[in-house]
Structure 1
Amino acid sequence: MTKFLLAVHVIAAIVAVGPVTGAASMFPPAARRAFGAPGDADALATTRLLHRICRVYAVVGVAVPVFGFATASNMGVLGDTWLIVSIVLTALAAGVLALLVLPRQSAVLETAEGDGVVEEVPGERATSARAATVRLAMVTGIFNLLWATVTVLMIIRPGSTTGA
């Protein structure tokens, strides 16, 4: 059963997290193209598609920690430090995605055909489209870095007695 759960966990990570990290990374340059060519339906459609991929696969990505917990429980490693650190980093990545990346993408997308002034998130001042996409690229990079770190921890598993 452990091998099955681990396989589903890894497949879910590849299928769900991969598209989010890719689409989120592609969104800022696509948004800059859309802002740079007002009225370009293709550029705007690309930006909308990338945002939709991020939203949909963020929801699908919930399967990753669900199967991760099941796998860890079956393996008896729920108390291991590397796993706890991975869980914390996964929660941080989810928070960055839900609270920073997706809302900023929505704000940029909503104004892609407007006057080029983006109200990024509630409470923040309006900024130029370029500045908004640069900030979005930064938080997207943080999201991707968190996931990369979790992936490394899952492979290395510090303190593991398996020799892997």
Structure 2
Amino acid sequence: MTKFLLAVHVIAAIVAIGPVTVAASMFPPAARKVLEGSDDSSALATTRLLHRICQVYAVVGVVVPVFGFATASDMGVLGDTWLIVSIVLTALAAVLLAALVLPRQSAILEGADQGGTIDRAATVRLAMFTGIFNLLWATVTVLMIIRPGSTTGA
């Protein structure tokens, strides 16, 4: 059962978290294209699509910690330090996405809809928060692979 839970957890992480990290990273440059009044008529549509991807996959991403907890419980490692750190970092990433990244993307899109007024500084701050979000996920991924104290020898 552990192998099944772990496989679902890893696949869910790849399928759900990967698109959020990529789309969130692509959003600020796409928003800057809209700000610059790019001749590319699809720039605003691209920005809207990236935001929608972030919203949908953020919800789908809830599956990752659910199967993560199930896997950890089955493996008997719920009290291990590396897992607790991973849980805290995952929670921080989720809060960052829900409280700072998604609302700022929405605000930028609202500004674009109200006459194209996008604050360049807002896109820079959004890029910073997105970078922190991505760094948190990269750290969790490394912890999941290395698993300090693991018997796999990794």
Q: In the TM superposition, what is the alpha-carbon distance from 1:117 to its structure 2 partner?
A: 4.7
Post-superposition CA distance 1:114-135 (Å, at most 9, x none): 35556xxxxxxxxxx1100000
Q: In the TM superposition, what is the alpha-carbon distance from 1:40 to its structure 2 partner?
A: 5.4
Give the partner amino acid of 1:82.
W
* 1:19–1:53 contact (8 Å) kept in structure 2: yes
Q: In the TM superposition, what is the alpha-carbon distance from 1:95 to its structure 2 partner?
A: 0.3
Q: In the TM superposition, what is the alpha-carbon distance from 1:159 to its structure 2 partner?
A: 1.3
* 1:27–1:51 contact (8 Å) kept in structure 2: yes
Give the partner amino acid of 2:144.
M
TM-score normalised by L of structure 2: 0.96
Q: Which residue of 1 aligns with 2:149?
A: 159
- Aligned-residue Cα RMSD (Å) equals 1.4
Q: Which residue of 2 aligns with 1:147?
A: 137
Q: Which residue of 1 aligns with 2:44?
A: 44
Matched, 1:64 2:54: no
Give the partner amino acid of 2:136.
L
Q: In the TM superposition, what is the alpha-carbon distance from 1:141 to its structure 2 partner?
A: 0.2
Give the partner amino acid of 2:145.
I
* Mapping 1:7-86, distance limit 5 Å: 7-37=7-37, 41-86=41-86
Aligned length: 154
Give the partner amino acid of 1:97.
L
Share of identical aligned residues, percent? 83
Task: Report the Cα distance in structure 1 between the residues aligned to 2:38 and 2:147, rounded to whole angstroms.
Answer: 49
Matched, 1:131 2:121: yes
Post-superposition CA distance 1:59-93 (Å, at most 9, x none): 00000000000000000000000000000000000
Determine which structure has the larger helix proportion and give its number: 2
Task: Report the Cα distance in structure 2 between the residues aligned to 1:116 and 1:134, rounded to whole angstroms.
Answer: 17
TM-score normalised by L of structure 1: 0.90
Say which structure, 1 or 2, has more relative contact order (CA 8 Å, 6+ apart): 2
Give the partner amino acid of 1:148.
A
Post-superposition CA distance 1:8-33 (Å, at most 9, x none): 00000000000000000000000000
